[in-house]
Amino acid sequence: MEGDMKKKNNNNSQKHLLSLVIFSVPLLMLASTSLAQAAALDYKEALSKSLLYFEAQRSGRLPYDQRVSWRGHSGLTDGLEQGVDLVGGYYDAGDNVKFGLPMAFTITMLSWSVAEYGGDIAAAGELKHALEAIKWGTDYFIKAHTQPNVLWAQVGDGDTDHSCWQRPEDMTTSRQAYKIDEDHPGSEVAAETAAAMAAASVVFKETNAHYSHVLLHHAQQLFEFGDKHRGKYDDNVEVAKGYYPSTSGYGDELLWAALWLHRATGDEEYLKYAVENADELNGTSWAISEFSWDIKYAGVQILASKVLMDKERHRLQENQVNVLEQYRSKAEHYLCSCLNMNSGDENVPRTPAGLLFVRQWNNMQYVAGAAFLLAVFSDYLAGASNAQALHCPRGSVGARELLSVAKSQADYVLGANPSGVSYLVGYGDRFPRRVHHRAASSASHKVQKSFIGCAQGYDEWYGRRSGNPNVLVGAVVGGPDEKDEFEDDRGRYVQTEACTYNTAPIVGVFARLMKKVDGEDGRGIIERKFSS
Ligand SMILES: *[C@@H]1O[C@H](CO)[C@@H](O)[C@H](O)[C@H]1NC(C)=O
């Protein structure tokens, strides 16, 4: 993620004003355009493309069956200076830094997608690719977790990386690696990596029991490390601060890891942790309308709700039920805020066409996360033994309606919007051509074999008016502004940069939507509810 605003406004930006392409269509056309497109949306194609994206983000030595062929090996000496093998993992976005916290969140969300909708993904013939995308991350976490209480949390740094516009294959920027340990703790990144490995262990349980077991072992150690040695990670990995600072602290990650470990093992001890620490770690007190790589309370609360909804399976004690009900009430607050069913100003704002709008910079990450949580909760409701509804201050909502709203958001991403633009790159005819991405915007190393230097990349590739030479298929970019408008300009990274944690949750949404969605398609609901 491009974090440092000052640095980003480099001297090229003037030139880019010329290259702005503004997609906008008169509002009157909205209904017909959207509906026509909505009917034709192909979620299976969207799913396949979204999984392909993770291959474009790979760092390390690429395998023989790499499908994104414009990428090559990179970062092959990562960790060497520190005497540790940190080759592999993912670049987070349009740059070449490996940031541990968002990488782990990406893997947690991909794993959650597969844990819920693996059958649908398999039916689409994409399970192999989904598992590979997860394993590319977890293989790296195994390497990065070198001792029970040591985790390498970042390779490279945003400042030096952003001063260059270089293909990963050509990197000349710092590849310094940064770790957390007992004296320099980082509970967010330790616990999120634990959550990712626990969630992945659920996914691999049937197909690769040994690997699943290895992941679980790391997850348990990392959770214990994060819990016993508490500290805010960006106090100790200071290079992360300007890019991925933790604003919600580590309470959410610790609870998240505990609930994922509970799901992976069925072990009471983890549920006990989530119940007993609910208050101290703010799990039952924070009601928020944002779910992201930083703030995952809504995810925690929904996982806790699931335990409550499956209560026949868990033999809960009365005090546990009480606390889980508090979690559920906060989960409902989040979901109701996405449905515009809370009262007053406790709802997520929306664009005129109904897109959830949390903030200007990379808004699609919140949309993707919300659509996923709505879809999952909808299925939890539908699967609960006694038919249940979501109770909001402005009324009750059934499973179908929740899913319809998730669908409306996914459909918007795929082009059912006033601009008729798909924000999933490579899907449909109209999608962003100038994605803010070093590798995609430069000639492939296979086409131009000669080295492209740090400043040379800015001069020769970043500033071009033409579209990127490589299409970053499956990437979900930052998306439109609060008026549904989008400028396809490489310099506007707020809108045109894509991140791994935008695509990861929407993988699950596309998988879910391949099955028929009964009833109305969300749009009616959006117009009815969101206009009031
Ligand atoms: C819980 O929230 C309060 C503020 O509401 C904050 O001061 C505290 O640090 C939080 N605790 C954790 C563990 O995040």
Give the CA count within 13 Å in the CB-facing half-sphere of 183.
Answer: 0
Supply the Cα-derived Rg of the chain in whole angstroms.
22
Contact by Cβ (8 Å): 417, 34: yes
* Residue 47 CA to its chain's centroid (Å): 15
Atom of ligand 1 nearest to the CA of 282: 1
Rounded to whole angstroms, the Cα distance separating 66 from 45 reads 19
Measured by CA distance, the residue closest to atom 11 of ligand 1 is 281
Using alpha carbons, list the distances in angstroms from residue 98 to 124, 174, 231, 290, 387.
Answer: 31, 12, 21, 24, 44
Res 518: pLDDT: 61
Using alpha carbons, list the distances in angstroms from residue 248 to 27, 107, 216, 283, 528.
Answer: 38, 20, 26, 11, 34
Atom of ligand 1 nearest to the CA of 248: 14
436 included as an active-site residue? yes
249: CA distance to ligand 1 center in Å?
7
Atom of ligand 1 nearest to the CA of 252: 14
Domain layout of the chain by residue ranges: 3-521
Contact by Cβ (8 Å): 162, 2: yes
Mean pLDDT of the residues in the chain: 91
Is residue 525's pLDDT more than 50? no
Using alpha carbons, list the distances in angstroms from residue 334 to 108, 286, 289.
Answer: 20, 10, 5
Mutate to test the pocket of ligand 1, among 282, 284, 296, 300 (most ligand atoms within 8 A of CB): 282
Query: What percent of the chain lies above the pLDDT cut of 90?
Result: 86
Q: And the tokens for 58? A: 């790979």
Res 40: pLDDT: 75
User: For ligand 1, is residue 282 a contact (CB within 6 Å)?
Assistant: yes
Q: pLDDT tens for residues 143-175?
A: 999 999 999 999 999 999 999 999 999 999 999
- Of 262, 255, 199, nearest to 227 by C-alpha is 255
What is the arithmetic mean of pLDDT over 65-89? 97
380: CA distance to ligand 1 center in Å?
29
Using alpha carbons, list the distances in angstroms from residue 119 to 45, 93, 113, 122, 177.
Answer: 16, 29, 11, 5, 38
Annotation: CATH topology of 3-521:
Glycosyltransferase (1.50.10)
Query: How do 177-180 and 390-392 pair as beta strands?
Result: unpaired
Task: Say what the pTM is.
Answer: 0.92
Rounded to whole angstroms, the Cα distance separating 165 from 96 reads 10
Q: pLDDT tens for residues 103-155?
A: 999 999 999 999 999 999 999 999 999 999 999 999 999 999 999 999 999 99
Site of tokens 């490995």: 197
Q: And the tokens for 20? A: 């702005």
Q: pLDDT tens for residues 379-435?
A: 999 998 776 899 999 999 999 999 999 999 999 999 999 999 999 999 999 999 999
Using alpha carbons, list the distances in angstroms from residue 483 to 149, 265, 337, 496.
Answer: 47, 46, 20, 16
Site of tokens 């509810």: 529
Per DSSP, the three-state class of 486 is strand
User: For ligand 1, is residue 283 a contact (CB within 6 Å)?
Assistant: no
Q: pLDDT tens for residues 264-320?
A: 999 999 999 999 999 999 999 988 899 999 999 999 999 999 999 987 777 899 999
Contact by Cβ (8 Å): 511, 503: no
For 408-498, where are the E strands, in sequence order? 486-487
Measured by CA distance, the residue closest to atom 9 of ligand 1 is 249
Rounded to whole angstroms, the Cα distance separating 388 from 384 reads 7
6: CA distance to ligand 1 center in Å?
30
286: CA distance to ligand 1 center in Å?
9
Catalytic pick from 145, 262, 333, 436?
Answer: 436
User: For ligand 1, is residue 251 a contact (CB within 6 Å)?
Assistant: yes
159 vs 518, higher pLDDT: 159
- Of 305, 12, 374, 323, nearest to 165 by C-alpha is 12
Q: pLDDT tens for residues 223-262?
A: 999 999 999 999 999 999 999 999 999 999 999 999 999 9
Q: And the tokens for 18? A: 């010329």
What is the arithmetic mean of pLDDT over 324-349? 95
What is the arithmetic mean of pLDDT over 447-466? 96
- Of 322, 445, 484, 392, nearest to 62 by C-alpha is 445
DSSP secondary structure letter of residue 99: E
Rounded to whole angstroms, the Cα distance separating 411 from 402 reads 14
